[in-house]
Amino acid sequence: MVIPVELRRSLKIKSGETLLARIEDDSLILESRDTVLKRMKNRFADIPKDVSLADELTEERRTESRKEREL
């Protein structure tokens, strides 16, 4: 996909830079990897450092699995 030079300059996108694409409503959104990482960090910023969401999800799935086996 070619992005016009004027847009690349105003958004500080380097030629050949990889952008991540997503759909939001009826629009195509192109973002740099750094922008996506910053958004994700901000989204989860209030989660304490000692909390593992992966561990919590694993435990939740195990609990659900045990409940299903008990039926």
Supply the pLDDT for residue 45: 92
Supply the pLDDT for residue 14: 85
Supply the pLDDT for residue 15: 81
CA 39, 43, 41: angle at the middle one, nearest 5?
55
DSSP states of the chain as a string? Answer: -PPPHHHHHHHTPPTT--EEEEEETTEEEEEEHHHHHHHHHHHTTTS-TT--HHHHHHHHHHHHHHHHHH-
Q: What value does the mean pLDDT take over residues 32-46?
A: 92
Q: What value does the mean pLDDT take over residues 29-40?
A: 92
Q: Give the separation between CA 11 and CA 69, rounded to whole angstroms.
A: 54
Q: Give the separation between CA 33 and CA 20, rounded to whole angstroms.
A: 7
